[in-house]
Amino acid sequence: MSNQTLALTPALYAYLAHQSLREPELLRTLREETARHPRHSMQIAPEEGQFLAFLVRLTGARRCLEIGVFTGYSSLAVALALPADGRLTALDVSEEYTAVARRYWRAAGVEDRIDLHLGQARDLLVDLVQSQAGTYDWVFIDADKISYRHYYEAALVLVRPGGLIAIDNVLWGGAVADPADVTEDTRAIRDLNAFLLGDERIDLSLVPIGDGVTLARRRGTPSG
């Protein structure tokens, strides 16, 4: 038997979803609404949303940061997984996209757990790094790919030792393994993946869920 990760055929993916996906109705409704959006491909897969929520609960995270909101599927999944005293700081550049997110946050009763900041993420992160370094338990990065390395470095400062960073789209539809693809976004993700492999500041795992999610645990706890 090969040690290679099993490829998901449409039939196998349908089985996976049927046997493991516990998608709340409001998240399903948001996903279906976003599927009609011209840029619907920016939304994460439902099993990835469930995985992110699982990680939040598993790590006991109370202070979370999301870089890139779009219509709010991932932020809603995370906010629903947070304890009552948990907070999610969400950064995005689009008032249009996040208006949809706000509507669903409100309907789910979690709007008071989410602090939305609109603007360029690079600028917003400068303020957070200066005032909140080492205070986050969990960070999710899913924004413009060219800035991924910058977002990662900021997240590594913002997350506490032992905290978790999750980075979306690290397989980029398979383009990262295609040497002929030298587009800027692909090169940015490919370069970040190569950098993370040698980054001794973190523990690392690239999980082939959705479009690929890298998990980076910041080292520095008494246990390592």
- Encode 151-174: b = buried (16+ Cβ within 10 Å), e = exposed: bbebbbebbbebbbbbbbbbbbee
- Encode 5-33: b = buried (16+ Cβ within 10 Å), e = exposed: eeeeeeeeeeeeeeeeeebeebbeebbeb
Cα separation, 172 vs 42, in Å, equals 11
Tens digit of pLDDT for each residue in 180-210? Answer: 999 999 999 999 999 999 999 999 999 999 9
Kindly give the confidence (pLDDT) of every residue in the chain, 224 residues in length, as a single tens digit, with 9 standing for 90 and above: 456 787 889 999 999 999 999 999 999 999 999 999 988 888 999 999 999 999 999 999 999 999 999 999 999 999 999 999 999 999 999 999 999 999 999 999 999 999 999 999 999 999 999 999 999 999 999 999 999 999 999 999 999 999 999 999 999 999 999 999 999 999 999 999 999 999 999 999 999 999 999 999 999 864 55
Starting at the edge strand that comes first in sequence, how are the strands of the sheet with 63-67 ordered?
114-118, 87-92, 63-67, 136-141, 159-168, 213-218, 202-207
The predicted pLDDT at position 158 comes to: 98
The predicted pLDDT at position 163 comes to: 97
Cα separation, 46 vs 27, in Å, equals 8
For the chain, the domains span 10-218
The predicted pLDDT at position 1 comes to: 43
The predicted pLDDT at position 221 comes to: 62
**CATH superfamily of domain region 10-218:** Vaccinia Virus protein VP39 (3.40.50.150)
